[in-house]
Amino acid sequence: MSEPILGVRDLVMRFGDETALEVDDFSIQRGETITLVGHNGSGKSTLMRILALLLAPTEGGVWFDGQPVDFRSRSTLALRRRMAGVHQEPLLCRMSVFNNVALGLRFCGVSGREIGKRVDPWLDRFHIAHLRDRPARAISGGEAQRVSLARALVLDPDVLFLDEPFSGLDAPTRERLLADFQEILGETSVTTIFTTHDRNEALVMGDRMVVLEAGRIAQFGEPDEIYRRPASEGVARFVGVENRIPGTVVDFTDNRVRVDFGEAEVEARGSVAPGQSVLLCLRPEDVTLAAADTGAADAAVQTGGENVLVGTVVRILPSDSSIRVVVDCGFPVVALVTRAAYRELKLEPGDRARVSFFATDAHLIPQVSVPPAPTAARLRPGARRRVQAWWRGH
């Protein structure tokens, strides 16, 4: 990673009265992989289209390779030809696999001989050389997405845009393609912007991650940092922090914060003043679960930075590789355990259980007290939508 290659400044995108996107400053370093994540309607596709120079923003600017982009100028096409995109659906044209992969090169006026030299190695790299002369509409979904990826990478782009390219595939196909693609991405070191709904993909793929909420960047940083230290409740929810417990700080000394939840007190790390309302965020995989003796007190105990709570198992939620156990400690705490561990614990709903977690794994998000929402009826429709969007954002 060296210098920024692509970015936006004071960007506003409106569709009619609706403000879809507002980004003050955002840039991507050359060679890095950025993942754009967010719920549907969060603005990630709009941001991606603007960055791909396919959509001119209402206000603000986009710059590419140190130069501001003039969307009205014919030179935008030349800049766009230094980028390539892959969509969720492969959207192959009614022609052979080879011709589909060659499509972008033909748009750029590359000669026939050169096209052959450049396309064939990419068909090999994506393991689709045997499909070379097959009609593109007659191949499977996974193969079609390989064609789509080869079609983008054959252009040797400075920036590659991937709009949820793996989400339409079944799990085994997705895993195989993701593994192949990661390997290729590592070899090419192309700057990549990747949107996804899948937080695991975001964690695996991205050097840095952008979480969008209601058209604004809620958090931008390294995936692990965002997973461990989400900036808002929305981000925490999106990145799978299932334990989000509201409480009040009762004591703060030397980076140690004691938080009262009414039923129990726990210790966390941070710098929050006493009296402040907070949301304690804890990933379920950071919670350790153990069976508790019958009649154990429902009290919190802290020893050496470890919080221990005792409660009653209320729900068991199996998933493919692990099991979620919800324990009522006065507030629900979700713990993630492996199937083997669960079999050993022999816990059933109604059993007593002991949950523990380290203070360093608990992250506190100070809660801002929000005034009541303005009466919607008094506002004009456009203003009402903006206020409602703002309100949802909080």
Which residues contact other proteins by CB under 8 A?
A: 49, 52, 54, 77, 80-81, 83-85, 87, 89, 91, 93-96, 103-104, 107-108, 135, 151-152, 155, 161
CA 127 centroid distance within chain: 28
Minimum separation from the CB atom of position 49 to other proteins (A): 7
In angstroms, the first-to-last Cα distance of the chain is 34
Report in angstroms how near the CB of residue 182 gets to other proteins at its nearest. Answer: 22
- Nearest distance from C-beta of residue 252 to other proteins, angstroms: 51
Considering beta carbons, is residue 103 or 316 the nearer one to other proteins? 103
The residue type at 133 = D
Tell how many helices (H) and how many strands (E) occur in the chain: 11, 21
Q: CA-CA distance, 162 to 189, in Å (whole number)?
A: 15
Of the pair 54, 291, the CB lying nearest other proteins is at 54
CB closer to other proteins, 60 vs 135: 135
Choose between 33 and 307: whose C-beta lies nearer to other proteins: 33
Nearer to other proteins, 94 or 346 (CB): 94
Q: Minimum distance from CB of 106 to other proteins (Å)?
A: 8
Give the Cα separation of 300 and 264 in Å (integer).
6
Least distance to other proteins from the beta carbon of 52, Å?
6
DSSP-assigned states of every residue in 178-241: HHHHHHHHHHH--EEEEEES-HHHHHHH-SEEEEEETTEEEEEE-HHHHHHS-SSHHHHHHTT-
Minimum CB–partner distance for residue 45 and other proteins (Å) = 10
User: Beta strand 83-86 with 159-163: parallel, antiparallel or unpaired?
Assistant: parallel
Q: Which residue's CB is nearer to other proteins, number 152 or number 362?
A: 152
